[in-house]
Amino acid sequence: QAQLTEYGGGLVEPGGSLRLACAPSTPSFTIYANDIMAWFRQAPGKEREFVAGVTWRNNKKYYADSVKGRFTIGRVAAENAVWLQMNALEADDTAVYFCARNPDAYTYRDGSKYNAWGQGTRVTVSS
């Protein structure tokens, strides 16, 4: 069973917006102060890539160059929730989006360092 659950995927036209959310699948899942929570995505036929991350301790945010200025990541610490606001969506943003947790914020771009994942939510950008 995935430890995280993503919400909010769907079909949107180019230029449109979507907001994804992520929350623990069980009440026992804990996000620690040194963790970073992040969104990754995997498009058909491509490798999984880092999209955005937010550190739990001090709310520092990181973005892939391809989404800077269009996507915003945020967290609600009291709810152990993370969200991703996606604006000005493009066809190249079509992918399955995953939420994940990494106990080492310094390795935020390395998917292999994440120890908890969701099952993903599909985002399709098409007219």
Walk across the sheet containing 18-24 and list its strands. Answer: 4-7, 18-24, 81-86, 71-76
- pLDDT tens profile 22-69: 999 988 899 999 999 999 999 999 999 999 999 999 999 999 999 999
Which residues have CB under 8 Å from 41's CB, separation 6+?
Answer: 48, 49, 51, 93, 95, 96, 97, 98, 123
CB atoms within 10 A of CB 69: 9
Say what the pLDDT of residue 18 is: 98
| 2 confidence band (pLDDT: 50, 70, 90) | confident
> Element (H or E) spanning 42, and its range?
strand 36-42
- pLDDT tens profile 70-96: 999 999 998 899 999 999 999 999 999
- pLDDT tens profile 110-119: 999 999 999 9
Say what the pLDDT of residue 22 is: 97
